């Protein structure tokens, strides 16, 4: 019996099999969940990834900046599963001008894009799914420790700081509905999105040195396990929390 037996989960952000969301979707199915994926842009790629899961699953197109798609999301998702028990928010994007050491020169339009896609979308996704979320549901988002400024991360770091605050306000407002909202702050992982951040390669060895438990940037397993645990009923009184899955590096001094 898996910890997600009988649960229906919506998972965003699957692009390739290196995506944290792909590993979370695979583990969720192994733990008993029925899964629906969302994708944007490269839908043929997302559909191929859906076929590579232990149980091929439906894929819904979702641009989190498109109000029309958000307005129809619950209806489209319920065509596959009548109600849901969890949502994984694994969506983030910043234009190249907003990362890579260009912080002081980034224009508002690109900053606005980063905040819309990476921060506001958590609230937008939660609101869109609320009509079909059962009491006791869990919303989990993917984070990167926003307490400090990281080289090259720039406006994406600001967006993640906003995501952390957004999650706390969502926890406040969705608590009366019996819905929990938490984030998983993973260490650096070699995903498609991470490779677009200048200087990512330099973080590999340095993070491993700082992490008491060590850290493998090629292994998404621990992060996926944390996501699935929070999506389950094993944390019924935990909300507004950030769970660090980074080998303990966040707790160490520089």
Active site residues: 153, 160
Residue with tokens 């260490």: 187
Strands 180-186 and 133-143, sheet pairing: parallel
Q: Which tokens hold the place of 181?
A: 């909202």
Backbone angles phi, psi at 248, to 5 degrees: 90, 5
Compute the distance between CA of residue 149 and CA of residue 193 in angstroms, rounded to an integer. 19
Residues 6 or more apart whose CB falls under 8 angstroms from that of 159 comprise: 92, 94, 114, 115, 118, 119
Could you tell me the maximum CA-CA distance found in the chain, to the nearest angstrom?
A: 53
CA distance 129 to 148: 32
Residue 186 DSSP code: E
Pairing, β 59-61 against β 84-89: unpaired
């Amino acid at each position: 019996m898996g910890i997600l037996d009988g649960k229906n989960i919506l998972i965003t952000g699957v692009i390739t099999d290196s995506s944290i969301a792909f590993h979370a979707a695979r583990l969720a199915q192994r733990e008993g969940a029925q899964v629906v994926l969302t994708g944007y842009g490269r839908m043929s790629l997302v559909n191929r990834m859906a076929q590579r899961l232990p149980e091929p699953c439906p894929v819904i197109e979702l641009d989190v900046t498109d109000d029309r798609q958000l307005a129809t999301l619950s209806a489209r998702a319920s065509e596959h599963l009548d109600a849901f028990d969890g949502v994984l928010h694994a969506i983030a994007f910043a234009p190249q001008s907003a990362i890579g050491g260009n912080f002081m020169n980034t224009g508002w339009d690109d900053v606005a894009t980063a905040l819309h896609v990476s921060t506001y979308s958590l609230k937008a996704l939660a609101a869109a799914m609320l009509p079909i979320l059962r009491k006791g549901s869990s919303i989990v988002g993917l984070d990167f420790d926003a307490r400090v400024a990281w080289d090259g991360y720039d406006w994406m770091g600001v967006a993640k700081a906003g995501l952390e605050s957004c999650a706390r306000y969502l926890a406040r407002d969705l608590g009366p509905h019996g819905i929990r909202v938490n984030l998983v702050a993973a260490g650096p992982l070699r995903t498609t999105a991470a490779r677009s951040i200048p200087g990512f390669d330099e973080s590999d060895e340095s993070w491993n040195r700082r992490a008491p438990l060590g850290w493998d940037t090629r292994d998404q397993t621990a992060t996926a396990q944390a996501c699935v645990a929070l999506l389950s009923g094993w944390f019924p009184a935990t909300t507004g929390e950030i769970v660090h899955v980074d080998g303990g590096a966040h707790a160490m001094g520089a």
